[in-house]
Amino acid sequence: MASSRLFRNFPAISYVVLIYGFIFLPVVVLVLFSFQDSRIPIPPFDGPSLKWYGAILDDRRMMDALFNSVTVGLLSSMVSVVLGFLAAYSLARLNIPGARFFQGLLIAPLTVSYLIIAMGLLITFTELGIPKSLLTVGIGHVVINMPLCFAILYSQMGEHQANVERAARDLGAHDLQVMLLVSVPMLWPALFASFVLSVTFSWDEFIIAFMVSRFDVTLPVEIWSMLRSGLNPKTNAVGSLVFMVSFVVVLLLDVLISRTRRL
Amino acid sequence: MTEESVRFLDIGMRFGATVALVGINLSITEGSYVVLLGPSGGGKTTLLNILGGFLEPTSGRIEIKGEDMAGVPAAKRPTATVFQDYALFPHMSIEGNVAFGLKMRKVPRAAREIRVSKALAMVKLGPVAQNRVHELSGGQRQRVALARSLVVEPSVLLLDEPLGALDLKLRRQMQDELKAIQKRVGTTFVHVTHDQEEAMAIADTIVVMNRGSIEDVGTPERVYLRPATRFTANFMGESNILTGRVTEVSGEFVTVATANTNMAVRGTVPVDYEVAISIRPEHLHTEDKSGRIQLGTGYVTEYGFRGTHHQCTVRMERFDTPLRVRLPQSKIPASGEQLTLYVDPDDAVLLDR
């Protein structure tokens, strides 16, 4: 009976296998050949070996880039969340003339390609005489992530939350207390989600980081310059690391959100 | 004992082109339970929001204990609100919710704890003080909201359809409890609802509102038995409205000629005026007794048993609209049955408008 059902569902199952294969095969290949023993990451697989991971950890430039990526990711995401929250709070709660216009203006960058944003930033920084550095990369990442944080947080500030804030005010809380004691704790899952999403976007963002950085670079830029000297299992290893970090962070987010959802 | 708690002076409110309130004048006695009753869109919630400081009226002024409330924000008013959706803080324990207002008022920890546990005991929630909001039932949440507002000892407690989200049985139970708590704490309660049974059960004073103005103010008995306006007569329970013309004025009584009969009712309206008379369905009788007036005969078109009475629709000769009649439990009507209806002149109410 089980086999007949399997047979009946065969087209559906093979479709699912194909789809997931299509999505995940490149990642699987990348990760698999990061454990390759020989110098060329192509079949046949002759691992497993961890020597390429060791090589990365020994690579001073790679480790610097990793540290830069983490710093830029955390700081730019923090700024994005704070700015996004303040913008969402004021547009959702205060009677600002033209609120819808400002809302549209804030979300608009989401539709612009990173390449265009990168070029715009490059021109602006050059014009203003701001030297290219990790700071400018961070500013670039705030530019792309703040609209996202704004959109997520704004969508969570509904009528019910507004009423709870009203209750707090009614009980004698002043504006800052309402924000810190009620709005922020109630929005905590959304704040955390937008922070983590920002970190992952910043973590593997390449074009902006490439165009507005100079000597200190982030990990994707470092990987790119490494790729120019040809494929080797070391690139696979660092790629796998980047992927795994993103994966773990998203997993963490999912667990946390589903735990707080029950409140 | 008749100290004034709240006074509305000629309050008007408009939202753009929409007029929400017009010429509201109302005094609320200290320590009374006032119910603002009316259909949705009647302006009762708007009035409550103006009193709570969530809306600024476009005209007029409000005084609480003689103090002008113009420009005083909600946080600074001696009012506290129980919201329709309770608006509890989901990220705090029940205790945390109740303690919030006291923390904002910087009440020292020791005093705060005593007051919180007293408030929770009053609404019988002591055992669940450490629970989270999502662990409580609807009725329990309602009590938390009540305790949270009462613990700050407001001069006036505002309740915005506080029982609206509860099922009927719980609602009836909670309304008795609300009334008991109000009597115990002695705070002025201003309660908004569209449920006239709820209003009658708990109010000391009912304020009937419709289309942004006050239709009637009085005790539940007064408002139900002697409604001032046609709207009140229809909104507070069922009513039969007879129209007629005043033919004679003598002392406290006027004689009104209706389609079927001449009726002497209490009132002061000049001769020849068109007036309306309200008669409650339970005030129509099938037996003649001394002093009763005969309204005429008609036949039963619809009927149904309602537990405490039989509800009938009786089509009368020469009346435009059929009359609604409540017959006693023992009198089982039949379709098409001929009935002669009588009314006590004291039960017929002359309506001002």
Three-state secondary structure call for residue B120: helix
Are A172 and B101 within 8 A, CB to CB?
Answer: yes
Asked if residue B306 and residue B208 are part of one domain, the reply reads: no
Angle, CA A181 vertex, CA A180 and CA A182 arms, to 5°: 100
Are B148 and A188 within 8 A, CB to CB?
Answer: no
Q: Are A223 and A235 in contact (CB under 8 A)?
A: yes
pLDDT at A4 over 90: no
Q: Give the DSSP letter of residue B92.
A: S
Residue B191 token pair: 């309660």
pLDDT at A203 over 60: yes
Asked if residue B194 and residue B267 are part of one domain, the reply reads: no
Asked if residue B115 and residue B215 are part of one domain, the reply reads: yes
More confident residue, A62 or B102: B102
pLDDT at B189 over 90: yes
- pLDDT band of B4, cuts 50, 70, 90: confident
Q: Which of B55, B81, B112 best tests the A interface by mutation, with the highest count of A CBs <10 A?
A: B81
Q: What percent of chain A has pLDDT over 90?
A: 30
- Closest alpha carbon within chain B to A165: B87
Task: Establish, for the pair of chains A and B, how many residue pairs have beta carbons separated by less than 8 Å.
Answer: 66
Determine the pLDDT at residue B119. 92
Domain that holds residue B331: 238-350
pLDDT at A34 over 60: yes
Q: What's the CATH code of the domain at B285?
A: 2.40.50.140
Determine the pLDDT at residue A153. 93
Q: Are A88 and A154 in contact (CB under 8 A)?
A: yes
Q: Are strands B338-343 and B284-285 parallel, antiparallel or unpaired?
A: antiparallel
Q: What's the CATH code of the domain at B167?
A: 3.40.50.300
Determine the pLDDT at residue A119. 92
Determine the pLDDT at residue B263. 82
Asked if residue B306 and residue B224 are part of one domain, the reply reads: no
Are B87 and A167 within 8 A, CB to CB?
Answer: yes
Q: Does B299 touch chain A (CB under 8 A)?
A: no
Determine the pLDDT at residue A260. 65
Residue A215 token pair: 């000597």
- pLDDT band of B116, cuts 50, 70, 90: very high
CA dist., res. B87 & res. B46, Å (int): 18
Determine the pLDDT at residue A72. 93
Asked if residue B312 and residue B209 are part of one domain, the reply reads: no
Q: What percent of chain A has pLDDT over 70?
A: 97
Determine the pLDDT at residue A81. 96
pLDDT at B145 over 50: yes
Are B105 and A166 within 8 A, CB to CB?
Answer: no
Q: What does pLDDT average to over chain B? A: 89
CA dist., res. B246 & res. B2, Å (int): 38
- pLDDT band of A56, cuts 50, 70, 90: confident
Closest approach of A187 to chain B, Cα-based (Å): 10
- pLDDT band of A262, cuts 50, 70, 90: low
Q: Does B85 touch chain A (CB under 8 A)?
A: yes
More confident residue, A263 or A78: A78
Among B192, B215, B234, the domain-final residue is B234
Q: Considering its fold, how many domains does chain B have in total?
A: 2
Of B53, B90, B101, the CB nearest to A171: B101
Q: Does B135 touch chain A (CB under 8 A)?
A: no
Asked if residue B225 and residue B272 are part of one domain, the reply reads: no
Q: Does A127 touch chain B (CB under 8 A)?
A: no
Are A160 and B87 within 8 A, CB to CB?
Answer: yes
Q: Which residues in chain A touch residue B91, judged by CB atoms under 8 angstroms apart? A: 185-186, 188, 263
First to last CA, chain B: 33
Of A164, A174, A182, the CB nearest to B75: A174
CA dist., res. A202 & res. A207, Å (int): 11
Q: Are B241 and B234 in contact (CB under 8 A)?
A: yes
Condensed to tens digits (0 to 9), the pLDDT of residues A105-118 reads: 888 888 888 899 99
More confident residue, A230 or A123: A123
The amino acid present at A231, given as its one-letter code, is L
Question: What average pLDDT does the segment A26-48 reach?
Answer: 78
Q: Does A175 touch chain B (CB under 8 A)?
A: no
Short-list B301, B250, B253, B310, CA closest to B277: B253
DSSP string spanning A226-251? HHTT---HHHHHHHHHHHHHHHHHHH
Q: Does A190 touch chain B (CB under 8 A)?
A: no
pLDDT at B166 over 90: no
Of A61-65, B25-29, B44-48, B50-54, minimum mean pLDDT range:
A61-65
Q: Does A189 touch chain B (CB under 8 A)?
A: no
Q: Which residues in chain B touch residue A259, judged by CB atoms under 8 angstroms apart? A: none
Q: Does A164 touch chain B (CB under 8 A)?
A: yes
Asked if residue B321 and residue B201 are part of one domain, the reply reads: no
pLDDT at A217 over 90: no
Determine the pLDDT at residue B1. 47
Contacts of residue A88, defined as CB under 8 A and 6 or more positions apart, other chains included, come to A149, A150, A153, A154, A157
More confident residue, B34 or A52: B34
Asked if residue B244 and residue B228 are part of one domain, the reply reads: no
Question: What average pLDDT does the segment B254-260 reach?
Answer: 82
Determine the pLDDT at residue A71. 92
Q: Which of B98, B102, B104, B158 best tests the A interface by mutation, with the highest count of A CBs <10 A?
A: B104
Question: What average pLDDT does the segment A149-175 reach?
Answer: 90
Question: What average pLDDT does the segment B140-152 reach?
Answer: 92
pLDDT at A2 over 80: no
Asked if residue B19 and residue B120 are part of one domain, the reply reads: yes
Among B192, B216, B234, the domain-final residue is B234
Q: Are B249 and B236 in contact (CB under 8 A)?
A: no
Determine the pLDDT at residue B2. 62
Q: Does A184 touch chain B (CB under 8 A)?
A: no
CA dist., res. A45 & res. A40, Å (int): 10
| Architecture of the domain delimited by A60-262 | Orthogonal Bundle (1.10)
Q: Which residues in chain A touch residue B104, judged by CB atoms under 8 angstroms apart? A: 171-173, 177
CA dist., res. A129 & res. A90, Å (int): 33
Among B190, B217, B234, the domain-final residue is B234
Q: What does pLDDT average to over chain A? A: 86
Closest approach of B100 to chain A, Cα-based (Å): 7
